[in-house]
Amino acid sequence: MARKTAGKKPMPATAEVETKPVRLDLFPDVHRLLRKVAADEGLSMASYARKALEAHLREEAKRRGIKP
């Protein structure tokens, strides 16, 4: 049997972006609205929520003078 070579593993062809999970509890009517709007955009609910929250946070940070 061959021995394993020491050292780092090679970088995969497509590097995954590191994300951190956040729990978001929504009221039923807001959840329903998110489902409808996300479907209208052709995105999953998680993708749409992530995109909308990121846009809002970047604008809010700019308004407050907070550097990312």
Cα gap 49→44, rounded to integer Å = 9
Q: Model pTM?
A: 0.71
Residue 11: strand, helix, or coil:
coil
Taking Cα atoms as reference points, which of 48, 67, 49 lies closest to residue 58?
67
Render pLDDT for 19-49 as a digit per residue (tens, 0 to 9).
899 999 999 999 999 999 999 999 999 999 9
What share of the chain in percent tops pLDDT 70? 85
Residue with tokens 């590097």: 15
